[in-house]
Amino acid sequence: MNQATAWIDRIAKACNTEPSASLGDGHISVKTEPWGLGGGSAIAQLYLPLTRQQCWQKVSNYSQWVNYFPDITYSQVLPKSQHLYQKGIKDFILLRVEVEIYLQVRETCNQAIEFELLKGSFSEFLAYLHLQDYQQGTLLSYAVQATPNFPIPAPFIEQALKLELPANMRHMRQVLCP
């Protein structure tokens, strides 16, 4: 089992534990930790008052991710390779960073999406999106671990994940559930 598979297995198990009751009240749960040399990882969970199938139809439409996540400026599945290509802009204090990434995407229909780095502005990038039935809707869990190729201190990465991932998830919920 490689490191990516082991991480996804650990996250998948975490996603299947009983979520906090406050998620049903609109709270977004986020846990962060350092990752590797100069990177960070996080897992966020939010409740969506949609069926799992409705959520799946929306989150698996990758060109719409520019609407879900404000930092993503371009998101498209490339026709020949079927790889996902995304571009984004991130501001760190006085520094603006533009990134691009090519991802291998593996889907488990109506349940999970794995995103694995092929090439781009990161030395390591792996993300996992998981959907599960919860109360009268769906619990969406999104986990990411990333190490950029550019010099950003690891505490900035972890802090950005801690502060901005909840804001991004709230924005995603507003777009998915107008």
Average model confidence (pLDDT) for the chain? 84
SS3 state of residue 66: helix
The type of residue at 36 is G
Here the tokens at position 36 are 């590797």
Give the Cα separation of 147 and 115 in Å (integer). 14
Cα angle for residues 110, 89, 41 (degrees, 5° grid): 55
15 has pLDDT over 60: no
Q: What is the pLDDT of residues 138-160, one digit of tens each?
A: 999 999 888 888 777 667 777 77
Name the pTM for this structure.
0.84
The Cβ-side half-sphere exposure at 178, using a 13 Å CA radius, reads 4
Q: Count how many Cα atoms sit within 13 Å of the Cα of residue 175 in the half-sphere of its side chain.
A: 15
In this structure, are residues 151 and 97 in contact, taking their beta carbons and an 8 Å threshold?
A: no
Please state which CATH number belongs to domain 3-17+31-176: 3.30.530.20
* Residue extents of the structural domains in the chain: 3-17+31-176
Element of type H or E holding 140: strand 137-148
Checking phi first, is residue 102 left (phi over 0); if not, alpha (psi -120 to 50) or beta? beta
* pLDDT 10s digits, 76-113: 999 988 999 999 998 766 778 899 999 999 999 999 99
